[in-house]
Chains A and B, each alone.
Chain A
Amino acid sequence: MAELVQQPTDAAAQIDEKKKQKLLELVRGRAVARPTDLADDEVMVWPSLVVIEAVSAAIFLAIMFVLSVMVNAPLLERADPNKTPNPAKAPWYFLNLQEMLLHMDPALAGIIVPTVALASIAAIPYIDRSPLGVGVLGTSSKGRTIIAFTTVFTSVVLIGLILLDEASGRTGFWMKTVFNDWGWPEWTSGMVMPTLVIGIFVGMLVVMVKKIFNPTTRELIIALYTGFFVTYWLLAIVGTSFRGQGQDLTLPWNLPLVHH
């Protein structure tokens, strides 16, 4: 027992005299921080945030009501497995995949490209780890210029490729018939060439952005993500509004069926 009591005293004796701190002053104040203590850049959730949520919920509920009173959901005739509609279309948010089906092998268009795209998107935070630009739309004015540049580049390339395939007889890679004449197997025009085309244009985007903008990793990923974003919506619009009977390119007002 005596030894145990002795120990702290020994330890205290070992404290370096130079490092000892002196008590200078006692200040009267609050002992603990309270949950309601607000810093200058803080607001109370009630009412500051809750009011915004309630008002936006009310506005969107009203919009949903008005829209639903004015526009009826489509209901065509009963499903008939023996009567294929022309064109038969997937839901609009998959029409970008259906559009790609017209240009390449179904496995590439419907499974491989979307899986690679989603996996790459999920991996973004593990590639770009710098905290630069958080909370700023487009990171910087350079980032926003890259967004505009990529939007134009992607749109031009996609529309060009669609028109090129269209000019050569629509279904499949534009040189498909030439490949067939040479006796090359189906997968050369269905898998290899489209993969090359995608690779070349993504590579072109990367090289151009690198040369013109000298980007950081974040800004380069902005270019790639914008490319995905524009591709998704542009192909969905083409598939929804510009594909008529037999999936031929058609102007929206000549479409046989209003698609929802």
Chain B
Amino acid sequence: MRREQTLADRITGSALWRSVVRHGYPDTQRNQALIIASNVFLHIHPVKIKRYATKVTYTFCLGGLSFFMFLVLTMTGVLLMFYYVPSTDLAYQSMKDIEGSVTFGQLMRNMHRWAAQGMVIAVFLHMGRVFYTGSYKPPREFNWVIGVLLLVVTFLLSFTGYLLPWDQLAFWAVTVGAEIGGATPIIGPQVSRVLLGDYQIGQNTLIRFYTLHVIFLPLVAAFLMAVHFWRIRKDGGISGPL
């Protein structure tokens, strides 16, 4: 007997729906495989994985959490960019405006701040997890090196963002940081000049840190993450007991 067509059947059977969604309801293994393979975001995963790789107490979600923090930071960061002005005259006032008069501005700023701190912690602990489970061993040597680079980029992202509020905390923290950079043996003055764009922290420094923070370093991080995730699959998924 032919089942009566429900509204849901009509929608999921329509040409429009089927042009977007290339698989049926994922209650069969075939459709569960198709949903992963036909979706660009899910396709980062293989169709099936080892059972141990789903154990939360093995990874503590730390790598995924680092990536999650990066996504939160990208979204809240774009929203903050609508209001923030990278000028020494206007930066502090735009921070005040974000906190005082922009709808959900304070919430966005808080989330950006705490996610930034969270990402530094998550990336660092992720490195610890990978180390203590011996997951850097062959064939994953190169991905470990990519991971160390991602740690450095995370530090740089957090550090460049630290200056942007242009308050006392930002200014003097970056002063201390720049002094450390200026202590580089042999090329100290040059490092300091490249970092600050001037002899002291000013407009040149702010625009430099801003550009690095909102476009250059996120692109570098995204590039390294693409390699990092791709290598996980090429090296046989996440590590597990032999």
Contacts and interface: CB of A to CB of B under 8 A. Distances in A.
Chain A bound to chain B: yes
Interface of A: 35-36, 38, 41-50, 52-53, 56-57, 60-61, 64-65, 67-69, 71-81, 83-85, 88-94, 97-98, 101, 105-107, 109-112, 118, 121-122, 124-126, 128-139, 147, 218, 222, 225, 229, 232, 260
Interface string B149-189: 00110010011001001111111110111011101110010
B33 A42 contact: no
B64 A53 contact: yes
B54 interface: yes
Contacts, number: 238
9 contacts: A65-B111, A68-B107, A72-B106, A72-B110, A89-B173, A98-B176, A107-B183, A130-B137, A222-B132
B135 A35 contact: no
Contacts of B184: 107, 110-111
A73 B161 CA distance: 13
Given A49-B54, A56-B65, A118-B152, 7 more contacts: A46-B36, A88-B176, A90-B176, A107-B188, A134-B241, A147-B132, A260-B113
Interface stretch (B8-16, B138-146, B216-224): B138-146
B22 interface: no
A91 B164 CA distance: 13
B133 A137 contact: yes
Given A53-B64, A91-B159, A137-B132, A107 B50 contact: no
Contacts of B137: 125, 128-131, 134
B187 to A, nearest CB: 10
Contacts of A72: 99, 106, 110
B40 interface: no
A69 B107 contact: yes
A73 B115 CA distance: 11
A79 B49 contact: no
B46 interface: yes
A91 B113 CA distance: 12
B194 interface: no
Contacts of B26: 46-47
Contacts of B111: 64-65, 68
Contacts of A83: 168
A112 B183 CA distance: 10
A75 B47 contact: no
Contacts of A129: 137-138
A75 to B, nearest CB: 5
A122 B131 CA distance: 11
Nearest to A69: B107
A75 B167 contact: yes
Contacts of A80: 168, 171
B51 A41 contact: yes
Given A56-B65, A76-B167, A38 B29 contact: yes
B241 A126 contact: no
